[in-house]
Amino acid sequence: MSCGCAPLNRATLSIGICDGPLFPSHFCSAIRHGVSGIGNIVILTGAGISAESGLATFRGPDGLWEGHRVEDVCTPEALASDPVMVHRFYDARRAALADVEPNAAHAALAQLDAQWPGELLIVTQNVDDLHERAGAKRLLHMHGELRSALCAACGARRPWETPMLPANSAQGGFAAPQCSACDAHALRPDIVFFGEMPYQMERIEQAISRADLFVSIGTSGAVYPAAGFVRTARYRGARTLELNLDPSEGSIFFDETRLGPASELVPSWVEELLA
Ligand code: OAD
């Protein structure tokens, strides 16, 4: 029987804010399992899980950077027209990683990853490295990583720890760092900009299609395609749970919403699941 809702649509996969109606007029609400029947889990995380480690969220009260919204800085057009501004933004974020540590929510997900016998995939929108520093292994960064550089000329990716902006950039004459694979001065932050395709969408779609439980943690549900995963998960028959400080934009699509700080909600949910 068709319920009229669609799985992930290739045409809508580049990231962006949805300007049109957020929700389809109807959707399938079939729920395959109760908690005891869960085998495969997909967990989507956003900036809220790292907030208590000291990293600002994007849309919270401290979400503006020097008066810019992230949607204005995080675009190919901004990189082309004002590379110094874009590099300063990401250099500051990369440097901030040295001052923060994973919190109890990252640790609990790493514990779940280590002990869960079924399939599990943590899909993070975060470009920090706090999940892996907590020990998570079954993890992918759909929006890229601060500690990685991408060559805009040849597509090579490589670890990157230092600022991309040379110290003398204020005097003008900015040249992007050189790629060791193709020699072009074309390295940029390995971040998926608005309008670009997130990483590993096929792997995410496959994992969601097999999931019995889809859990969203610390994300506002404002940025697609990640914001649409909950509807795909429901369509595929998964149970859906949201753990967030405030209800997300897609809150009505979750079977259950628990509100509070991630450092409290996530460890208690993991404890429940592993009991
Ligand atoms: P947002 O800043 O949009 O949303 C953060 C969410 O975390 C909000 O719903 C908050 O209520 C919640 N939150 C804040 N503190 C929390 C806490 N202590 N515990 C639990 N939840 C908390 O961040 P994202 O949804 O991650 O993309 O943003 C999605 C994407 O937008 C980002 O990946 C980024 C940005 O543009 C790129 O940079 C490519």
**Looking at ligand 1, which atom is closest to the CA of residue 63?**
2
- The answer to whether the beta carbons of residues 32 and 237 sit under 8 Å apart is yes
Which is catalytic among the residues 106, 131, 141, 143?
143
Dihedral angle, C-alpha 60, 66, 67, 69, nearest 10 °: -60
CA-wise closest residue to 211 among 2, 24, 26, 31: 31
Tokens of 38: 């869960």
Residue of 43, 57, 68, 131 best suited for mutating to test ligand 1, as the one with most atoms within 8 Å of CB: 57
CA angle (54, 149, 104) in 5-degree steps? 25
Per-residue pLDDT of the chain (275 residues; tens, 9 = 90+): 333 333 443 334 567 765 433 333 233 333 334 455 899 999 999 999 999 999 989 888 777 676 778 888 899 999 999 999 999 999 999 999 999 999 999 999 999 999 999 999 999 999 999 999 999 999 999 999 999 999 999 999 999 999 999 876 655 667 899 999 999 999 999 999 999 999 999 999 999 999 999 999 999 999 999 999 999 999 999 999 999 999 999 999 999 999 999 999 999 999 999 99
Rama region for 195: left / alpha / beta (φ>0; ψ in -120 to 50; rest): left
Residue of 148, 150, 241, 244 best suited for mutating to test ligand 1, as the one with most atoms within 8 Å of CB: 244
DSSP strand pairing (187-191 vs 144-151): antiparallel
**Looking at ligand 1, which atom is closest to the CA of residue 57?**
2
- The answer to whether the beta carbons of residues 231 and 255 sit under 8 Å apart is no
Nearest residue (by CA) to ligand 1, atom 32, is 125
Q: 14 alpha carbon to ligand 1 midpoint, in Å?
A: 18
- Asked if 106 is an active-site residue, the reply is no
Q: Where are the beta strands (DSSP E) in the chain?
A: 16-17, 41-45, 120-124, 139-141, 144-151, 157-159, 187-191, 213-217, 223-224, 239-244, 256-259
Instruction: Identify whether 117 is preceded by a cis peptide bond (ω within 30 of 0).
Output: no
Distance (Å, whole) CA 99 – CA 241:
31
Nearest residue (by CA) to ligand 1, atom 4, is 220
Q: 81 alpha carbon to ligand 1 midpoint, in Å?
A: 27
AA identity, residue 63 = G
Distance (Å, whole) CA 92 – CA 165:
10
Nearest residue (by CA) to ligand 1, atom 23, is 47
Tokens of 224: 């697609």
Distance (Å, whole) CA 135 – CA 137:
6
- The answer to whether the beta carbons of residues 268 and 104 sit under 8 Å apart is no
Residue of 193, 216, 219 best suited for mutating to test ligand 1, as the one with most atoms within 8 Å of CB: 219
Distance (Å, whole) CA 162 – CA 183:
19
Q: 69 alpha carbon to ligand 1 midpoint, in Å?
A: 13
Q: 22 alpha carbon to ligand 1 midpoint, in Å?
A: 18
Q: In Å, what is the CA distance from 124 to each residue of 28, 35, 85, 151?
A: 25, 23, 25, 22
Task: Give the residues surrounding ligand 1 with Cβ less than 6 Å away.
Answer: 15, 46-48, 51-52, 57-60, 63, 70, 74, 125, 143, 191-192, 218-220, 222-223, 244-246, 248, 261-262
Q: Is the pTM of this model over 0.75?
A: yes
